[in-house]
């Protein structure tokens, strides 16, 4: 659940000096990947300084890593803050890696994260004050829900599109692409033409 009126949760580790009339925003952020890398998404639950909900953000990211999805949730929250004039941003995350990297306690060693880490730092420099805290997952339920909703929506697109296609008259239906393959070590390997990256498929065992 979100933490409103956070009290002692945020006491230090600010990135910039506080402004005298800075609007306060609290963001619970999360991201996930089903497969790591795999279908991924982020969620950001935004409240004001009194804990009143002001926005719920979430987006499907395609095939990404869990850490990239976590950073994407942070980026979404920071962009929202900048766009809506919030000068003080307090972030809550259940990703210890993200929190410690943003605090400078861990170095960013993954080349895949360097660009998005730099983007987060650039957005933070536009704020009056930035703070971030790590919490256990059960204290980040709303952001987790939004991230999973985003993944569910993204992974359901193929089946929804197929259902819509078969709801049309036969002459208006689009052709359904079929590929053959085999299972090797629990992984389906397609033969011949390949699907492009990021496409989700439903596999049914041939009888």
The full set of domain ranges for the chain reads 12-154
What confidence tier does 43 reach under pLDDT thresholds 50, 70, 90? very high
Mean pLDDT of the chain: 81
More confident position, 11 or 166: 11
164-189 mean pLDDT: 53
Alpha-carbon distance of 62 to 38, in angstroms, equals 7
Q: Give the CA count within 13 Å in the CB-facing half-sphere of 48.
A: 7
**In the predicted model, is pLDDT for residue 56 greater than 70?**
yes
Look at residue 151 in the predicted model and tell me its pLDDT. 95
Alpha-helical regions (H) of the chain: 66-83, 96-102, 111-124, 141-167
Query: How far lies 95's CA from each of 49, 137, 181, in Å?
Result: 22, 9, 37
Confidence of residue 15 (pLDDT cuts 50, 70, 90): low
**For residues 55 and 155, which has the higher predicted lDDT (pLDDT)?**
55
126-145: per-residue pLDDT in tens?
999 999 999 999 999 999 99
With contact defined as beta carbons under 8 Å apart, do 30 and 151 qualify?
A: no
CA distances from 84 to 93, 130, 137 (A): 21, 15, 27
Whole-model pTM: value is: 0.71
- What is the reported pLDDT for 1? 46
* Confidence grade of residue 156 (pLDDT, cut at 50, 70, 90): confident
CATH number corresponding to 12-154: 3.30.420.10
Terminal C-alpha separation, the chain: 47
Asked if residue 81 has pLDDT above 60, the reply is yes
> Has residue 7 got a pLDDT over 60?
no
- For residue 202, is pLDDT > 80? no
Average pLDDT over residues 138-159: 89
Angle between helices 141-167 and 66-83 (to 10 degrees): 100
What is the average pLDDT across 137-155? 96
Q: CA 87, CA 85: separation in Å to the nearest integer?
A: 6
Q: What is the pLDDT of residue 22?
A: 85
């Amino acid at each position: 659940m979100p933490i409103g009126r956070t009290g002692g949760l945020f006491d230090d580790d600010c990135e910039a000096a506080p402004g005298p009339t800075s609007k306060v925003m609290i963001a619970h952020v999360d991201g996930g990947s089903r497969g790591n890398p795999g279908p991924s998404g982020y969620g950001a639950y935004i409240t004001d300084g009194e804990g009143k909900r002001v926005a719920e953000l979430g987006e499907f990211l395609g095939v990404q890593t869990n850490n990239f999805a976590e950073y994407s949730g942070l980026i979404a929250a920071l962009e929202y803050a900048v766009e809506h004039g919030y000068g003080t941003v307090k972030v809550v995350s259940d990703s210890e890696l993200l929190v410690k990297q943003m605090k400078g306690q861990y170095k960013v060693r993954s080349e895949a994260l360097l660009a998005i880490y730099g983007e987060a730092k650039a957005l933070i420099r536009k704020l009056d004050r930035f703070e971030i805290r790590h919490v256990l997952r059960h204290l980040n339920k709303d952001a987790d829900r939004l991230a999973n909703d985003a993944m569910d929506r993204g992974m359901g697109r193929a089946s929804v599109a197929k259902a819509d296609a078969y709801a049309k008259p036969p002459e208006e239906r689009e052709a359904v692409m079929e590929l053959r393959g085999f299972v090797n070590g629990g992984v389906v390997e397609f033969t011949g033409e390949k699907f492009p990256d990021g496409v989700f498929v439903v596999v049914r065992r041939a009888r």
